[in-house]
Amino acid sequence: MLRAHPESRPKGAPGLANAATGLLRRSGHPRYRGVAGLHADSAAEDENAHMNRVAQVLAALEALTLIAVGALESFFFRSPELYPIFLIESDEYDAVALWTRNVGVYNMLMGLAIIVALVLVHRAQVAAGRAIILTICAMHLVLGVSLFVTAPELWLSAVFEFGLALAVILAIVIGDRNAAVRAGSTAAARASSV
């Protein structure tokens, strides 16, 4: 890397550089935090380093459920054995085929997206994976309520859709809160030992 000769720098440059460094240090920029900042950074990284196992298992269950229900909706909605799930009469099959197939593909894609999110979580992209899972589960929480409101006779399906999504969200939020408390305790202990 080429550097300018000290005499060729403008006279005010060192003062500006020191002022900029001071601003960065006060703003909490990681490069300028010093030892205490490094401990705070590692505590923040610890907080985001994983997603708790319960949340991961529930998210995987949500993914598998969405894929299974999507396959039933897309390929087997005409089956009389599935009448209790979909409440589709045999004379309505042709009328609802377009919607059930599309909703089924939608559900399968949402399930696959959760699986991708879980892969991200295991590849140290926890924040991205968590965001995808929370978004999809929030959607299904609302969809469960909507199903109950629009078709009360499908209350069991609505409760299952709402309940599993809510369980995933709570597992992530409670797990994040617990991780934040642990990270705060760890950071405080490190700061007091420095």
Alpha-carbon distance 2 to 122, whole Å? 42
Nearest alpha-carbon partner for 144 in 158, 163, 160, 124? 158
Query: Which region among 43-47, 107-111, 138-142 has the lowest average model confidence (pLDDT)?
Result: 43-47
Report whether 66 contacts 114 (CB < 8 A): yes
| H helix or E strand, kind and range, residue 181 | helix 155-193
Dig out the tokens for 24 from the structure.
């960065």
Q: Where are the domains of the chain?
A: 54-175
pLDDT in tens, 178-194: 877 776 776 666 666 66
- Helix or strand run (H / E) with residue 188: helix 155-193
Task: Give the pLDDT confidence score for residue 47 in this predicted structure.
Answer: 45
pLDDT in tens, 155-174: 998 999 999 999 999 999 99
The single-letter DSSP state of residue 49 is: S
- Rounded CA separation 22/171 (Å): 41
Helices (H), 34-154: 34-47, 53-75, 83-86, 93-122, 126-150
Structure tokens at 67: 């894929």
pLDDT (tens digit, 9 = 90+) per residue, 120-159? Answer: 999 989 999 999 999 999 999 999 999 999 999 989 989 9
Give me 123's structure tokens.
């590849």
Band of pLDDT at residue 36, cut at 50, 70 and 90: very low
Mean per-residue pLDDT, 12-40: 49
Supply 43's token pair: 């505590």
Residue 20 has pLDDT above 60, yes or no: no
